[in-house]
Amino acid sequence: MNACRSYWFDVPVANRGHWRKACGFPETSRLFIELGCGKGKFAVETAALNPDVCYVALEKDESVILAAIEKAAAAGVKNVFFVCTDVLLLKNYFADSEADRIYINFCDPWSRRNKPKRRLTYRGYLEAYKIILAANGQIHFKTDNSLLFEFSLEEFEAVGLRLVDVTTDLHASPWNDTNIRTEFEAKFAEKGIKIKRAEAHKI
């Protein structure tokens, strides 16, 4: 952790409302957030392709987020930062209208009965995301799970988000040219599982 010191903060809640300044970016810079970054492949590659963006990746598993931090350090990517926390605490870390984009990639589908409220695309979570998203902010969502995808599309519309660029076969779509695959996505693709993708824009 000491070797990767520049990628995390002792008290990240102190950055609430000031992430750009804390990370050394102009206030006009865009702020992207990833919920559940896993081992960091998507976070590191997306940040590398967007060096002018302040990218903050969240992950609740300490051992997993350490692997992500080490990956960023090894790649020399300077504009990605990590917070070890649960999505339930999101409002403690980000102020109203602070973020420009939120990524949700291959979250737990919580397929067991009576568990939909745990899905990261459940309307209760979405309402919280809308608060921290700026005007015209976006949620970018990917999953391999068809039931979760259909559920999520309904939830996006239920909270007043506008659906854009929806596909049930991302890798055969026009958006695949700029798509960055996560670790899970690569494994699913190898098995022939089609990847679903959608954007939900704040109106």
What are the tokens at 52? 């002018």
Cβ 188 vs Cβ 144: under 8 Å: yes
Q: Cα(165)–Cα(140) distance, rounded to whole angstroms?
A: 10
- Determine the pLDDT at residue 51: 97
Residues taking part in catalysis? 108
Q: Which of 8, 51, 14 is nearest to 32 (CA)?
A: 51
Strand 162-167 and strand 196-201: the pairing is antiparallel
Segments of the chain with pLDDT less than 50: none
Amino acid at 172: A
Count of domains in the chain? 1
Q: What pLDDT sits at residue 114?
A: 63
Segments forming the whole domain that contains residue 22: 5-201
Q: What is the model's pLDDT at position 111?
A: 81
Neighbour-count burial for 31-59, b at 16+ CB within 10 Å, e otherwise: bbbbbbbbbbbbbbbbbbeeeebbbbbbb
What pLDDT is attached to residue 116? 86
Q: Which residue has the tokens 């060096």?
A: 51
What is the Rg, in whole angstroms, of the alpha carbon atoms belonging to the chain? Answer: 16
Q: What Å distances lie between residue 8 and 26, 31, 48, 116, CA to CA? A: 19, 16, 17, 32
Residues whose CB falls within 8 Å of the CB of residue 25, separated by 6 or more in sequence, listed in order: 54, 79
pLDDT tens for each residue of 139-174: 999 999 999 999 999 999 999 999 999 999 999 999
Whichever domain contains 142, its CATH number is 3.40.50.150
